[in-house]
């Protein structure tokens, strides 16, 4: 009965020490806020505004899509649900090429606008940043909300049917409580992703009206070699994230749903108008998400055989880094979630969410400050990238795992205790089988995020580039044919890694 | 072979439950109004909550601090008695070895108890494929296999129909053997058929066992109000 020291406590302590230590280095190095110019403050305002707008749009649009997917069964649904993970795990730099192909000056959308005599939409500037953020985060939001829908036991829907609930009553008693529990977390996830947005701003934004704080850090670090100003901006970034987290704590309401007995009972699906609306919603969402990807694939696929060997070297390097990063991340995630589910050590949950307050570039800046005496930037580039990517994936994994771990505990803890199910046997026969879906999802997310990440590594000029960095270098040297092919390769690898892990979690044992 | 509560006090917020009594071997019902602390008493014996003070003693041995899985106790909960992702045979086998590394003799023992509760041949199925009554039988098979001397029942058959419940109680009586049984129930008829004596929980106090028939024929005011 006594609270034992668990792996989760150790992981949490190590994580907290690493992140807080790094942030302390940043704070030590930072100048006063007076060091920031009007330009920097404009970046702060833009960052907040675009993150709020992106999060609201993503969450609002995701609800009808998730509901349609939760209650409809059709050919290709499984594939679509898997693909929904794609834009989020699609390497940002690849997705940007796709968005430019569809929404850019010569894209189909603007051609249609011109044909109808309407003004063109610009992809560069704030519109592009918002568009890209919704493109990346709508699918993540749908998946998170869909998981919430599927977490409502089928028995509840059956009970609702037996009580002759109208759709309105189902919404009130089952769906809205679930949404109330899920949406704040979803909105916050998207808001925080956008708050620390780097690659999108780098590629589509920039300039006085579309520069994020994260991009400003990069510019201070790489172009101005002004470590003090980079650190100060880092502190501002941390303050933004902390404020957002504190605000969000007030909203989140957990819902106490029990367990279902795993019966394969579909959620009730009304016919008539709701069916038509659901079909339109699914079609529109699928089109918005697939079109840019198809554009990139058709351009780049035929050119893959002609890729130079250094691209393949970079690809292989990235895959190894991604797998290490995913295993690190999901292992830490599981240990943390199991401890958090016991509800006795609040600080463990706080430690698990710490990566949210430390953006990749802030961590990169801090680690550079800490390590620069001992190791060269060349040497630290790859290990730092692996570690930062593993940490960055943690909050997403935890969001999926903590509720599942809590349900596991509420439903089966006493039974497991009564049978003396402990240690390895418990992990193998209870924890892993019951948590395999969120675990697979978390591992897939971590691997793909790491695979496609073009963030912290840009701080360290490396002669051992990852594939996204190699792709960025190809684009910058205008080798567009190779860039398109490398995009497809990178997309395939990211998607493949995600698919392997996520699929692994959803297979019936 | 007796179970003793020595000066037990449990506190959960405003709620308090006291127990200072000896439960002799045999089958006992546990009766009391909703929220009187019936499940709390079972949780105490099972080891899922620690008392603020006092000891739980089994056969002269203090088990108050013992881990739930090490106690001489099998429990049938109100729900979630089976792991839905494991097969019937695995669910039962877990009663012998939680790591499920069963040798041949143990596997045969699993088959044998499944046979005894009338579920021969269902070992490879999942609980979700079985009826409610069959799921109860699987849980009973595991109780049978574990053969612990103390058996706690927290209304495990409340969701079953009367005929099925009668079947289960009959099977239970068989399975229990000479184990000491504490059965929480809302149904006076169950108490009469299954348990010669009854522990009444009233006003935060667990009363010593009394013969079930006379207690129910002439209940004290609080219990009378509850039984209606």
- The minimum CA-CA distance between B90 and chain A, rounded to whole Å, is 9
Q: In chain B, where does DSSP find H-type helix? A: 38-46, 88-93, 104-116, 132-146, 162-176, 188-194, 212-217, 221-227
Q: How is residue A212 written in tokens?
A: 């994020």
CATH 3.40.50.300 fits B3-72+148-227, yes or no: yes
d(CA A55, CA A167): 27
Helix (H, G, I), strand (E, B) or coil at B3: strand
| Residue boundaries of the structural domains of chain A | 1-30+307-509, 38-255+268-297
Q: What's the pLDDT tens digit per position in A474-488?
A: 877 878 778 889 999
Give the contacts of B113 (CB within 8 A, at least 6 positions apart). Answer: B92, B141, B142, B144, B145
**pLDDT for A3 beyond 70:** no
Higher confidence at residue A262 or residue A6?
Answer: A6
Q: What is the maximal distance between C-alpha atoms in chain A?
A: 73
State how far Cα B122 lies from the chain centre.
24
Q: How far is A509 from chain B (nearest CA, A)?
A: 9
Residue A210's closest CA among A318, A128, A151?
A128
- Tallying the residues shown for chain B, one arrives at 228
State residue B5's pLDDT score: 96
Other beta carbons within 10 angstroms of residue A433's beta carbon come to 14
Q: How far apart are CA B182 and CA B198, in angstroms?
A: 9
Note the pLDDT of residue B79: 86
Output the pLDDT for position A491: 92
For residue A280, what pLDDT is reported? Answer: 94
pLDDT at A13 (0 to 100):
93
Please give the pLDDT value at position A264. Answer: 46
Residue B1 pLDDT exceeds 70: no
Query: Both tokens of residue B8?
Result: 């037990």
Surface of B (186-225) touching A: CB under 8 A:
none
Tokens describing residue A181: 């529990």
The per-residue pLDDT of chain A, averaged, comes to 86
Cβ distance of B74 and A422 shorter than 8 Å = no
Q: Report the percentage of chain A scoring pLDDT > 90.
A: 37
Mutate which of A263, A418, A430, A509 to disrupt the B interface (most B C-beta within 10 Å)?
A418
Residue A254 binned pLDDT confidence (cut-offs 50, 70, 90)? very low
CB contact under 8 A, A259 and B80: yes
Radius of gyration of chain B (CA): 18
What pLDDT sits at residue A376? 85
Q: What are the chain B neighbours of A263 within 8 Å (beta carbons)?
A: 128
Distance of CA A286 to the CA centre of its chain: 19
* Residue A342 CB neighbours (<10 A): 15
Q: Give CA torsion, residues A55, A58, A62, A63, to 10 deg.
A: 50
Higher-confidence position of A105 and A111: A111
Q: pLDDT tens-digit profile of B78-89?
A: 888 999 999 999
Determine whether the interchain pair A417/B47 forms a contact, defined as Cβ–Cβ distance below 8 Å.
yes
- Residue A334: phi and psi, rounded to 5, are -65, -45
DSSP letters along A52-116, please? Answer: HHHHHHHHHHHHHHHHHHHH---TTHHHHHHHHTHHHHS-HHHHHHHHHHHHSTTSHHHHHHHHT
Confidence of residue A251 (pLDDT cuts 50, 70, 90): low
Are A93 and A299 spatial neighbours (Cβ–Cβ below 8 Å)? Answer: no
B93: closest chain A residue by CA: A419
Residues in chain A with CB shorter than 8 Å from the CB of B69 are: 417-422
- Residues of A with CB below 8 A from B90's CB? 429
B215: closest CA of chain A, how far (Å): 32
A446 close to A397: Cβ distance less than 8 angstroms = yes
Cα of B47 to nearest chain A Cα, Å: 8
Subunit contact B84:A262, Cβ cutoff 8 A: yes
Q: With contacts defined as CB-CB under 8 Å, which chain A residues touch B56? A: none
Reference B157, options B195, B185, B196; nearest CA is B185
Give the integer Cα–Cα distance in Å for A424 and A419: 14
What is the Cα–Cα distance from A174 to A189, expressed in whole angstroms?
23
Q: Do A1-30+307-509 and A38-255+268-297 come out as alike in CATH topology?
A: yes
Give me the mean pLDDT over the A358-370 stretch: 88
Quick one: pLDDT band at residue A509, thresholds 50, 70, 90? low
The DSSP element (H or E) to which A315 belongs, if any, is helix A309-341
Q: What's the pLDDT band for A189 if we cut at 50, 70, 90?
A: confident
- What would the mean pLDDT of A371-377 be, rounded to a whole number? 85
Is the Cβ–Cβ distance between B210 and B204 less than 8 Å? no
Asked if A483 contacts A471 with a C-beta cutoff of 8 angstroms, the reply is: yes
> Comparing A231 with A345, which gets the higher pLDDT?
A231
Cα distance between residue B131 and residue B160, in whole Å: 10
- Give this complex's ipTM: 0.88
| Distance separating the N- and C-terminal Cα atoms of chain B | 35
- Helix A432-452 vs helix A126-151: angle between axes, to the nearest 10 degrees? 170
Quickly state the pLDDT bin for A87 (edges 50, 70, 90).
confident
Question: Rounded mean pLDDT of B206-222?
Answer: 91
Residue, of A317 and A256, whose pLDDT is higher: A317
For residue A263, give the nearest of B69, B95, B128 by CB distance. B128
Does any CB of chain B come closer than 8 Å to the CB of residue A508? no
**What mean pLDDT is reported for chain B?**
91
Give mean pLDDT, residues B161-183. Answer: 88
What are the two backbone dihedrals, phi and then psi, of residue B61, each rounded to the nearest 5 degrees? -110, 130
Question: Selecting from 1.10.3720.10, 3.90.1150.10, 1.20.1440.230, 3.30.420.40, what CATH number does the domain A1-30+307-509 have?
Answer: 1.10.3720.10
Helix (H, G, I), strand (E, B) or coil at A372: coil
Residue where the block lists tokens 């001397």: B149
* Chain B: residue whose CA lies nearest to A410: B80
* Interchain CB distance below 8 Å, A434 and B73: no
What was the pLDDT predicted at A261? 39
- pLDDT surpasses 60 at A265: no
Phi then psi for B2, rounded to 5 degrees?
A: -125, 160
How close does chain A come to B89, measured CA to CA in Å?
Answer: 13
Residue B68 to residue A417, Cβ atoms within 8 A: yes
Read off the pLDDT of each residue in A87-112 and give the average, rounded to a whole number. Answer: 83
B101/A233 Cα distance (integer angstroms): 57
Burial label, A403 (beta-carbon count in 10 A; 0-12, 13-18, 19+): buried
- The CATH fold of domain A38-255+268-297: MetI-like fold (1.10.3720)
Q: Are A141 and A161 in contact (CB under 8 A)?
A: no
Q: Do A398 and A352 contact (CB within 8 A), yes or no?
A: yes
Size of interface A-B (CB pairs under 8 A): 73
Put simply, whether B127 touches A (Cβ < 8 Å) is: yes
Per-residue model confidence (pLDDT) at position A473: 87
Confidence of residue A266 (pLDDT cuts 50, 70, 90): low
> What DSSP designation does B61 have?
E
pLDDT for position A252:
53
Residue A262 confidence (pLDDT) above 70: no
Contact across the interface for B90 and A429, Cβ inside 8 Å: yes
**Nearest Cα residue to B117 out of B144, B93, B82:** B144
**pLDDT tens profile A46-56:** 999 999 999 99
On the question of pLDDT at A148 being above 50, the answer is yes
Q: Count CB atoms within 10 A of the CB of residue B1.
A: 12
Average pLDDT for A368-375 = 87
B48 neighbourhood in chain A, CB within 8 Å: 414, 417
pLDDT at A321 over 90: yes
Q: What is the average per-residue pLDDT within A153-178?
A: 79
Does the pLDDT at position A401 exceed 80? yes
Residue-wise burial string across B34-62, b where 16 or more C-beta atoms lie within 10 A, e elsewhere: eebbbbbbbbbbbbbeebeebebbbeeee
User: DSSP state, B21?
Assistant: E
> Around Cβ A179, how many Cβ atoms within 10 Å?
20
β-pairing, B210-211 vs B197-202, is: antiparallel
Lowest mean pLDDT among A131-135, A189-193, B63-67, B117-121: A189-193
| Domain spans in chain B, listed from the N-terminal domain onward | 3-72+148-227, 84-147
Rounded CA separation A71/A321 (Å): 38
Burial of A163 (0-12, 13-18, 19+ CB in 10 A): exposed
The tokens for A392 are 């960055």
CA angle A448, A453, A455 (to 5 degrees): 160
B74 in reach of chain A (CB within 8 A)? yes
Cross-strand bridge partners of residue B198 = B29, B210
pLDDT average, residue stretch A445-467: 88
Residues of chain B positioned with their CB less than 8 A from the CB of A414: 46, 48, 68, 75, 77, 80
Question: Checking phi first, is residue B132 left (phi over 0); if not, alpha (psi -120 to 50) or beta?
Answer: alpha
């Amino acid at each position: 009965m006594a609270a034992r020291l668990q792996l989760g406590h150790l992981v949490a302590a190590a994580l907290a020490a690493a992140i807080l230590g790094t942030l302390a280095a940043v704070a030590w190095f930072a100048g006063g806020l007076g060091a920031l110019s009007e330009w920097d403050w404009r970046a702060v305002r833009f960052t907040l505004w675009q993150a709020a707008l992106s999060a609201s749009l993503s969450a609002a649009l995701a609800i009808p899509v998730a509901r349609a997917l939760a209650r409809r069964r059709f050919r290709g649904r499984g594939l679509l649900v898997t693909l929904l993970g794609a834009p989020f795990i699609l390497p940002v730099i690849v997705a940007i090429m796709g968005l430019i192909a569809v929404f850019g000056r010569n894209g189909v959308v603007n051609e249609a606008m011109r044909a109808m005599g309407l003004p063109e939409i610009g992809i560069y500037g704030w519109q592009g940043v918002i568009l890209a953020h919704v493109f990346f985060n709508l699918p993540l939001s749908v998946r998170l909300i869909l998981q919430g829908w599927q977490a409502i036991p089928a028995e509840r829907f059956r009970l609702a049917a037996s009580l002759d609930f109208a759709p309105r009553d189902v919404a009130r008693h089952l769906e809205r409580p679930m949404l109330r529990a899920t949406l704040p977390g979803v909105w916050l996830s998207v808001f925080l992703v956008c708050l620390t947005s780097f690659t999108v701003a780098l590629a589509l934004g920039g300039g006085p009206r579309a520069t994020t704080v994260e991009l400003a850090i990069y510019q201070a670090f790489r172009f101005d070699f002004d470590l003090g100003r980079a650190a100060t901006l880092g502190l501002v970034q941390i303050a933004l994230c902390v404020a957002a987290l504190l605000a969000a704590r007030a909203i989140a309401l957990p819902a106490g749903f029990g367990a279902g007995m795993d019966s394969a009972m579909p959620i009730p699906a009304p016919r008539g108008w709701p069916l038509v609306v659901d079909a339109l919603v699914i079609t529109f969402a699928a089109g918005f998400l697939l079109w840019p990807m198809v554009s990139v694939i058709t351009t780049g696929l035929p050119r893959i055989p002609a890729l130079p060997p250094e691209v393949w070297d970079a690809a292989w390097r990235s895959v190894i880094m991604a797998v290490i990063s995913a295993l690190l991340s999901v292992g830490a995630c599981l240990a943390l979630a199991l401890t958090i589910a016991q509800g006795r050590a609040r600080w463990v949950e706080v430690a698990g969410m710490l990566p949210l307050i430390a953006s990749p570039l802030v961590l990169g800046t801090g680690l550079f400050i800490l390590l620069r005496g001992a190791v060269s930037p060349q040497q630290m580039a790859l290990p730092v990238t692996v570690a930062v990517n593993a940490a960055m994936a943690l909050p997403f994994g935890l969001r999926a795992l903590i509720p599942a771990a809590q349900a596991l505990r509420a439903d089966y803890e006493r039974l497991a205790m009564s049978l003396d199910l402990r240690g390895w046997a418990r992990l193998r026969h209870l924890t892993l089988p019951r948590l395999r879906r969120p675990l697979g999802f978390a591992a897939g997310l971590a691997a793909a995020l790491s695979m496609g990440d073009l963030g912290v590594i840009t701080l360290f000029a490396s002669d051992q580039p990852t594939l996204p960095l190699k792709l960025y270098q190809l684009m910058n040297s205008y080798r567009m044919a190779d860039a398109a092919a490398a995009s497809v390769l990178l997309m395939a690898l990211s998607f493949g890694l995600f698919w392997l892990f996520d699929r692994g979690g959803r297979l019936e044992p | 072979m007796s179970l003793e509560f020595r000066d037990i006090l449990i506190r959960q917020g405003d709620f308090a439950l006291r127990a200072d009594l000896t439960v002799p071997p045999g089958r006992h019902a546990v009766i009391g109004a909703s929220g009187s602390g019936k499940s709390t008493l079972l949780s105490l014996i099972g080891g899922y909550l620690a008392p603020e003070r006092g000891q739980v003693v089994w056969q002269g041995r203090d088990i108050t601090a013992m881990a739930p899985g090490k106690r001489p106790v099998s429990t049938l909960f109100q729900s979630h008695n089976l792991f839905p992702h494991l097969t019937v045979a695995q669910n039962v086998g877990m009663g012998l070895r939680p790591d499920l590394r069963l040798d041949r003799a143990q596997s045969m023992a699993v088959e044998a108890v499944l046979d005894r509760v009338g579920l021969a041949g269902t070992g490879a199925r999942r609980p979700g494929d079985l009826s409610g009554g069959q799921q109860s039988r699987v849980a009973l098979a595991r109780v049978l296999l574990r053969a612990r001397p103390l058996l706690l029942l927290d209304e495990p058959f409340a969701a079953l129909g009367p005929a099925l419940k009668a079947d289960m109680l009959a099977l239970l009586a068989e399975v229990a053997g000479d184990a000491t049984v504490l059965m929480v129930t809302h149904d006076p008829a169950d108490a009469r058929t299954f348990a010669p004596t009854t522990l009444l929980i009233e006003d935060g106090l667990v009363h010593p066992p009394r013969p079930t028939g006379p207690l129910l024929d002439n209940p004290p005011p609080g219990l009378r109000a509850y039984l209606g």
